[in-house]
A = this chain, B = another copy of it.
Amino acid sequence: MDDTAVRFGVHELIGAYADAIDEGRLEEWPALFTDPCRYLIISRSNHAAGMRQGVMYAASRGMLLDRVMALRGANIYEPHHYRHVVGPIRLQRMEGTVAVVHSNFLAVRIMHDGGTHLFASGRYLDRIETAGDGYRFSERIVVLDSEKIDTLLAIPL
Interface centre among A83, A115, A120 (most CB of B within 10 A): A83
Q: Are B12 and A110 in contact (CB under 8 A)?
A: no
Q: How many copies does the complex hold?
A: 3
Asked if A3 lies at the interface with its beta carbon under 8 angstroms from chain B, I say yes
Contacts of A83 in B (CB 8 A): 104, 106, 121-123, 145
**Which segment of A15-23, A25-33, A50-58, A126-134 sits at the interface?**
A15-23
Q: A88-B89, A118-B117 are in contact. Are A110 and B145 (CB under 8 A)?
A: yes
Residue numbers of A with Cβ under 8 A of B are 3-4, 7-8, 11-12, 14-16, 18-19, 22, 44, 81, 83-91, 102-106, 108, 110, 113-118, 120-123, 145-148
